[in-house]
Amino acid sequence: MIELSKAEFEVLDALWINYPATASQIIERLSGDKQWHEKTIKTLLSRLVKKGALTFEKDGRQYIYTPCMERADYTLKESQNFIERFFSGRIAPLVSGFAKSEQLSQQDINELKKVIDDWEKNQK
């Protein structure tokens, strides 16, 4: 699995919003929440390319970036990894931890029920 740092992921996440995109578009998207200098974001883009998380095509002097993987695939792998490390690969203890500390809303519960429902339908 490609290992991305937090900052790298956030840049990639901005690209996932809509791609392909140029560096300036990505910088623009990040300008709201992050106080990152333009140079910082460009460094992160280079590192993402180096790690194989992005590719680009040249358009004159600019690069047009595209992610090499889908967000859902990446987050799934990260999730598996996380759950393996902290909960020996079982997902219920994670959810249970949330439940016990009052972190679950009725909406979360409804959504979880739906996930279970869909899963069961799929088994038939």
Torsion of CA 93, 94, 99, 104, to 10 degrees: -150
User: Which of 7, 9, 43, 64 touches a copy of itself (CB under 8 A)?
Assistant: 9
Residue 12: CB atoms within 10 A of its CB come to: 25
Least CB distance to a copy of itself at residue 27 (A): 20
Is residue 80 a contact point for DNA (CB under 7 A)? no
Structure tokens at 81: 């990894």
- Asked if 17 and 29 count as a contact pair (C-beta separation under 8 A), the reply is yes
Residues ≥6 apart with Cβ < 8 Å to 51:
2, 3, 4, 8
Is residue 94 a contact point for a copy of itself (CB under 8 A)? yes
Is residue 111 a contact point for a copy of itself (CB under 8 A)? yes
Touching a copy of itself, residues 72-91 (CB under 8 A): 72, 75-76, 78-80, 82, 85-87, 90-91
Which residue ranges make up the site for a copy of itself (CB under 8 A)?
6, 9, 72, 75-76, 78-80, 82, 85-87, 90-92, 94-101, 103-104, 108-109, 111-116, 118-120
